[in-house]
Structure 1
Amino acid sequence: MYFLATTAIERFWDKKKQILFLQEGCYRFSKRNRDINYKIMPSVFSNKEKIHQCLHEVEQTTEKILEAMVPVFNNLHEVNYGKRYWRIIIGRWLNDYIFAVYDRYYSIVHALEIDPNLESIVLDESCYIVPKDFTETLNYLSDDFYNLQIYSQIFKFIGKNFPSKKLVYQIENEGINHNTIRIENKILRKSDTLIMNMSYFSEMVDLMLINKCHFPIESHWIKEFILPDFNICKQTRQKMKLNIKAENQFEDFIISQIFNNMPVAYIEGYRYIEKKYQEHPVYSTIPRGILSAVSYNADAVFNQWAATCAENGTKLIAVAHSVAGSTYSDFEEHEKKICDRFYAAGLITHKDNNKVKVLPSPKFCARIEFEKLENLSDILFISSNIKRYQGPFSWLITLSPNEYSNNQQIFWETLSPNLKKCVRVRLYARDWGQDCEKRWKSFAPDVILESWEILLAARMQKSKVIVCDNFQTTFTEALLFNKPAILYFDYKKYINFLHPEAVKCFDELHFVGILYDNPASAAQLLNRSYLEIDEWWNDNARQSARKNACKVFTGYLKEGVDQWVKELDCLFDDKKEDSKKISYEKHENIQYENLQEYLNGLSGEKIAILGINKIAQYMAQFISQLCHKKIVGIIDENVENFGKYLSGVNINSFQEIMKENPDLIIIADLPSGRIQELYLKKYIPATVKIINPARDLPEPIFRELLNTVFGEHFGRVTIKNG
């Protein structure tokens, strides 16, 4: 008779008996040098048929329960919203929770099939915890305590009255911080604004979109709200009942526990969140559109605001934040259901959903290749990780942690001794109790493990070659940066989860020797080609395969920003601004090599800079040195004041300069050119040309201007490689 250990918490083991570990993650690598009689049960996702079955059953159960929840929540919160509203708020949590419980439930079922008389120890009910929101649920589902709670609930439901123990929950914090803010631009707050939050566009692309699109745009990187502690109202939760009939015992268990485990954000915290977004400087408005790459999948305040906005006609737009390839992504499937438009990355076709359009990935818009550095030697090995407790489908779901680590060991042991000295390993940001560092040190005691203090893109640039042990965004970034890269990844195992276009691309990468289906072959390639890796990488066939992979997986194009501008203008074409009063200086059919050639090619001999700060002064100085045209002054925010920042300019009146120079060229400064341009409409004649750099300059020339004006004088905004 086995003793079933459901988690890695040893207080809940009986080491005197033969232990059956419910999964490999229950017996941590760092604890294995012990005299314990044990057996590890295989995963319920041991083959692709079971994965497909799981995805199908989880989706069916999720839809059934969501439908039944609508009247329950409307009654609880005294509102009258439809299924879409509640899907936006609780849909992602519901799907991931049911998926996780599916894994835990059928693992218990499988264990009882192995030994119907097994024993175990459960968590005392007085110690149960409730997550605050979806983000906290994800953290809980990755640690031991919450999983012990779920297993204990399952045992009780199926009638197994095992002895219990008490345990106080301790937060497992690995130092991941999601509370960063990137851009706060509150100038344009109007009801016809498109608000972008965590769009994954770079700062430069944000600036170009704001200036080129024919409607107001705000771009933010608003941190996720940390909710306060709430008192759990057990009485309220006990009254919440689903009017639904379970079709099997698993669904019966879900229905019995769904409200006990539901985050407080959806029950006790609903009104608090409502007040929170109503008071927020961004979320207090009902905008024309909302665009995000990640916020629909996490932030409770954002989602409740977005749900309310959708009820009032706001268009919800989601963009892919990862590379294309897989036919299934739990977060993308959720976004497709809740949003009016989903923008997928790459050149993958999506014939089954008219909401989906393909555009270049926001994360890779306007990316440029690395500047080539000499005398590089590092082999940067970029690793991923596998959660100890299974979550929604990922590339690594059919690999156990031991198999994944063993592949890394095979790569290391196949590598030549001289090359081992060049290896730098970048572990995944979160360990999830897998003891990844100790695993590496067990077979490579002298290997250098790097921290995340150095930005990954910067580290990639300073490496000679990059090795990835799974298909991830980082590998695609290396291809975009045109950095020698090698991937070992047995993609044929996942053939049923890949788009046909992705399979064809993987076949090509495999044929030219960039992709390998095993770690030994990847290491052997390095042994042969390390010294001539650049020559190997620049082979015509490999470069062709690289470029094709960039297009297939990210949709990367040099005109990517213009494609986004065209698409967004089309999406919101009912309210395009009237631009007849302004003559825009554009040269769409002329190619300019650099900024100097562009400026000299402009019709007109006099230039004024439109701006209100030192940036305008630096632009004036820079442009005056670069071209033969005369800088006649700087227009400040009061418009009437003209030239007071520029020595040698005696003109005091903006109206005066307009009369004397009807063919004047006005160049707006970089950060707020669009705002000032709109303000100027009522002052300038139609003959005056306004150039808005972020909108009107060809992208390479705009980069040159940004690098020169910002980089040289401020050192705080540059075109970043990656």
Structure 2
Amino acid sequence: MSERAPRLAATALTGYWDADGENLILGCSCLRASKAEETGRFQTRLLSNPWDEPGVETATLAAYDVSYERMLAGLSASLDRFHGHARGPRYWRIVAGPWLTAYLTTLCDRLLVAKAALKEAPAASFEAPSPLPPARDTAEFLARLTTDDLNQRLYGEVFRFLGLPVIGRAAAYEPPRLRPAWKTAASDAAASLAQAARRLRAPEAVFSSLYMPASDLSALCLASGFRLQPTLGRISTPPDSATGDPRRATLAETETSDELERLAWTLMPAHLPRILMEDFAAAAAAVRREWPSPPRAALTSVGWLLDEHFKLLAAETVSSGGRLAIAQHGGAYGMFDVLHNERHERAIADEYWTWGWTEPSSRAAPARIRPLPNPRLSRSAKRRPEDGWLLVTHALPRFGYTFYFCNVPVWPRYPEYLAQRERFVAALPEAERARMSVRLPVEDFGWDMSTRLERRWPGLHLEAAREPLLERAARARLVVIDHPQTSWLECLAAGVPTLLFWDPMLWRMRPSALGAFEALRKAGILRDAPDEAAARAAEVMKDPEAWWDSSEVRSAVEDFRAGWARGSRDWAAQWAAAAHELTEARP
């Protein structure tokens, strides 16, 4: 009798695991704390992750960079041919680049992991449903990427490409929830008001998705004398058709000798969003009707990623000789060693408005850097501290390198970040642990953070991050933050007593930022080890305000803010002036 082949387990969907044989676990994304009892009934073995092999990350990212540029050029040519107009690579880098980045990054990771699994077990089996119909747009595609369902299907496609006979299975699919009708109605009403305002005064420049509240958007419009106005258009996509454009199939015929590129072209007919194919002509025509003469400049913070209307308008703007500026929207920018979304933003923009840092432009990131104060960093917290203190946490999708390559932290070591958080909690004196609240992300992507903490510390106070951070932080005597994303910069800028800790080997910084972090370490604001941070928190909690007001800490915070978290009461005037200069600089 032949030995039973092991089953490859690529997701936490245990219905695809083998109940009677060995299951080879492809990564930490398969093992959920909330399903520990269920998965414990299976025979499992966690495979080593190929990203941990020496030199793999450097070589893979270098090869990815070459593949991305070749694929962008090939996709641009195909889309120009399909849509009958030579728009060129920059146009498609703006419109299709965010999707291509997520698509190719995801395939790069899944291909690397799948090949390593087959090297370990070449006779293994895998079971998966059929691929899904194409997503409507980039937003739906990215929403799918975070799910076990999509990744089970995607791994099936990758294993088939590698020659593994995949066991098929019918499976229903629950699509992402549609936008609530009231939100659509509100957006449409706001768009109508914006169009009416443009009839009263045509703007020099437009903005969208600036990642700030309505009060700040109003202040910006006023400061510019309404020369800068919002564009609030929305792409209305028709219902999905049972039949797609037959030209999709020709994408799979693209010839290349590179394995990642062959995989990406082979699978592309099933994954290219409809907004770039079937729905593109109508969407582009709608934007041109709304803007027969494109604005002289366009500005966004996050619209470059999911706002299809803004991407089309921005592409039309630069194609007609206008300018595009992107404003930094959160932490990590200018700091992280690997951050491909920053690189994309700086590749498509003429100017990149930072929170204070600067870097030389490069061929891969040619945008001119303009440091400006940000409204999110321009307000002090209205302090009314109570007795307790706050631990602020972080979550990322479970599946490796979803959306783009970045070390937040280095994949596949995210469970080490979760473990360090628990080391911090364990090292606290019991009295301080009782006074602490743990602020957990509303969406934790299946990491089951509350389950992990509650099992170890029943009664630990947990809260979902629904209240705005600075409002919640204002009531905390001390805020401790375990990751270098956006929260800590906002708290430092708002004057909230803030203690930081993270492992610098997990959250790697680029050389130009290392000195700034070392200064925070010397001032006792940043700790690398969770047990050291716990001891520091207990000491600081004796009098957080006195610690925060000490000359050493205050000087370190002020110096750091000047370069990385700049704020100003006249930020709106500075932004308005920068936007006006942008329109004047047009060729």
Q: Considering the TM-score relative to the shorter chain, is it more than 0.5?
A: yes
Q: Which residue of the other structure, out of 300, 303, 317, is the alignment partner of 1:292?
A: 300
CA drift of 1:6 comes to 1.5
| SS of equivalent to 1:259 | helix
CA drift of 1:470 comes to 0.6
What do the CA deviations read for 1:601-648 (whole angstroms, capped 9, x no partner)? Answer: xxxxxxxxxxxxxxxxxxxxxxxxxxxxxxxxxxxxxxxxxxxxxxxx
| SS of equivalent to 2:172 | coil
% of aligned pairs identical? 20
Relative contact order (alpha carbons < 8 A, sep ≥ 6): 1 or 2 greater? Answer: 2
CA contact (8 A) 2:51 2:412 kept: no
Aligned match of 1:29: 33
Correspondence 1:410 to 2:418: no
Which amino acid letter does the alignment assign opposite residue 252 of structure 1?
A: R
Aligned match of 1:187: 197
What do the CA deviations read for 1:338-372 (whole angstroms, capped 9, x no partner)? Answer: 2222223322323435522232253435x222233
| SS of equivalent to 1:317 | strand
Aligned match of 1:689: none
CA contact (8 A) 2:235 2:283 kept: no
| SS of equivalent to 2:206 | strand
Q: Which residue of the other structure, out of 67, 71, 78, is the alignment partner of 2:73?
A: 67
| SS of equivalent to 2:369 | strand
Q: Which residue of the other structure, out of 147, 158, 163, is the alignment partner of 1:159?
A: 163
| SS of equivalent to 2:500 | strand
Which amino acid letter does the alignment assign opposite residue 136 of structure 2?
A: K
With over 3 angstroms needed to count, the CA separation of the structure-2 counterparts of 1:221 and 1:530, relative to structure 1, is farther
Aligned match of 2:376: 364
Q: Which moved more, 1:409-418 or 1:92-101?
A: 409-418
Distance in 1 between the 2:278 and 2:286 partners? 14
Correspondence 1:3 to 2:16: no
CA contact (8 A) 1:469 1:487 kept: yes
Aligned match of 2:138: 134
Aligned match of 2:57: 51
| SS of equivalent to 1:316 | strand
- Report how many residues are paired: 566
CA drift of 1:129 comes to 3.0
* Unmatched 5+ stretches in structure 2: none
Aligned match of 1:463: 476
CA drift of 1:149 comes to 1.6
Correspondence 1:546 to 2:557: yes
What do the CA deviations read for 1:452-474 (whole angstroms, capped 9, x no partner)? Answer: 44222211111111111110111
| SS of equivalent to 1:337 | helix
CA drift of 1:494 comes to 4.5
| SS of equivalent to 2:71 | helix
Q: Which residue of the other structure, out of 141, 144, 150, is the alignment partner of 1:146?
A: 150
Distance in 1 between the 2:29 and 2:178 partners? 17
CA drift of 1:212 comes to 3.8
CA drift of 1:93 comes to 0.8
CA drift of 1:220 comes to 5.3
With over 3 angstroms needed to count, the CA separation of the structure-2 counterparts of 1:443 and 1:471, relative to structure 1, is same
Correspondence 1:525 to 2:536: yes
Correspondence 1:200 to 2:211: yes
Which amino acid letter does the alignment assign opposite residue 475 of structure 1?
A: W
Distance in 2 between the 1:552 and 1:563 partners? 17
With over 3 angstroms needed to count, the CA separation of the structure-2 counterparts of 1:104 and 1:148, relative to structure 1, is same
CA drift of 1:562 comes to 4.0
With over 3 angstroms needed to count, the CA separation of the structure-2 counterparts of 1:347 and 1:162, relative to structure 1, is closer
CA drift of 1:557 comes to 4.2
With over 3 angstroms needed to count, the CA separation of the structure-2 counterparts of 1:348 and 1:357, relative to structure 1, is closer
Q: Which residue of the other structure, out of 418, 421, 433, is the alignment partner of 2:434?
A: 421
Aligned match of 2:114: 108
| SS of equivalent to 1:572 | helix
CA contact (8 A) 2:493 2:565 kept: no
Distance in 2 between the 1:159 and 1:297 partners? 34
Aligned match of 1:42: 48
What do the CA deviations read for 1:220-272 (whole angstroms, capped 9, x no partner)? Answer: 5667767642334263311345654223x222222211222111111111123
CA drift of 1:327 comes to 4.2
Kindly report which structure 2 residues correspond to 1:248-287, keeping only aligned pairs within 5 A, or say none: 249-278=259-288, 286-287=294-295
CA contact (8 A) 2:49 2:412 kept: no
| SS of equivalent to 1:357 | strand
Q: Normalised by the size of structure 1, how large is the TM-score?
A: 0.73
With over 3 angstroms needed to count, the CA separation of the structure-2 counterparts of 1:327 and 1:401, relative to structure 1, is closer
Q: Which residue of the other structure, out of 310, 319, 342, is the alignment partner of 1:302?
A: 310
What do the CA deviations read for 1:277-335 (whole angstroms, capped 9, x no partner)? Answer: 3465xx56521211000111112232123222322222221111123312443222222
With over 3 angstroms needed to count, the CA separation of the structure-2 counterparts of 1:8 and 1:230, relative to structure 1, is same
Correspondence 1:318 to 2:329: no
CA drift of 1:104 comes to 0.5
Which amino acid letter does the alignment assign opposite residue 572 of structure 1?
A: T
| SS of equivalent to 2:524 | coil
Aligned match of 2:500: 487
Aligned match of 2:526: 515
| SS of equivalent to 1:45 | helix
With over 3 angstroms needed to count, the CA separation of the structure-2 counterparts of 1:408 and 1:144, relative to structure 1, is same
Q: Normalised by the size of structure 2, how large is the TM-score?
A: 0.89
Distance in 2 between the 1:113 and 1:488 partners? 38
Which amino acid letter does the alignment assign opposite residue 413 of structure 2?
A: S
CA drift of 1:109 comes to 0.6
CA drift of 1:72 comes to 1.6
| SS of equivalent to 2:397 | coil
RMSD of aligned alpha carbons:
2.8
Distance in 1 between the 2:389 and 2:231 partners? 36
With over 3 angstroms needed to count, the CA separation of the structure-2 counterparts of 1:20 and 1:361, relative to structure 1, is farther
Q: Which residue of the other structure, out of 74, 91, 95, is the alignment partner of 1:89?
A: 95
Distance in 2 between the 1:55 and 1:226 partners? 35
CA contact (8 A) 1:405 1:439 kept: no
What do the CA deviations read for 1:503-547 (whole angstroms, capped 9, x no partner)? Answer: 111101111111111211111112222121111111111111111
Distance in 1 between the 2:232 and 2:326 partners? 15
| SS of equivalent to 2:52 | coil
CA contact (8 A) 1:2 1:19 kept: yes
CA drift of 1:404 comes to 2.4
CA contact (8 A) 2:127 2:166 kept: yes
CA contact (8 A) 2:6 2:121 kept: yes
CA drift of 1:78 comes to 1.7
Aligned match of 1:583: none
Aligned match of 2:451: 438
CA drift of 1:178 comes to 8.8
The structure with more radius of gyration: 1
Aligned match of 2:398: 388
| SS of equivalent to 1:32 | helix
| SS of equivalent to 1:389 | coil
With over 3 angstroms needed to count, the CA separation of the structure-2 counterparts of 1:242 and 1:82, relative to structure 1, is farther
CA contact (8 A) 2:298 2:314 kept: yes
Correspondence 1:233 to 2:237: no
Q: Which moved more, 1:233-242 or 1:72-81?
A: 233-242
CA contact (8 A) 1:9 1:144 kept: yes
Distance in 2 between the 1:491 and 1:401 partners? 13
Distance in 1 between the 2:235 and 2:545 partners? 43
Aligned match of 1:709: none
Distance in 2 between the 1:402 and 1:354 partners? 35
| SS of equivalent to 2:50 | coil
With over 3 angstroms needed to count, the CA separation of the structure-2 counterparts of 1:399 and 1:484, relative to structure 1, is farther
CA drift of 1:191 comes to 5.2
Kindly report which structure 2 residues correspond to 1:631-710, keeping only aligned pairs within 5 A, or say none: none
Which amino acid letter does the alignment assign opposite residue 371 of structure 1?
A: K
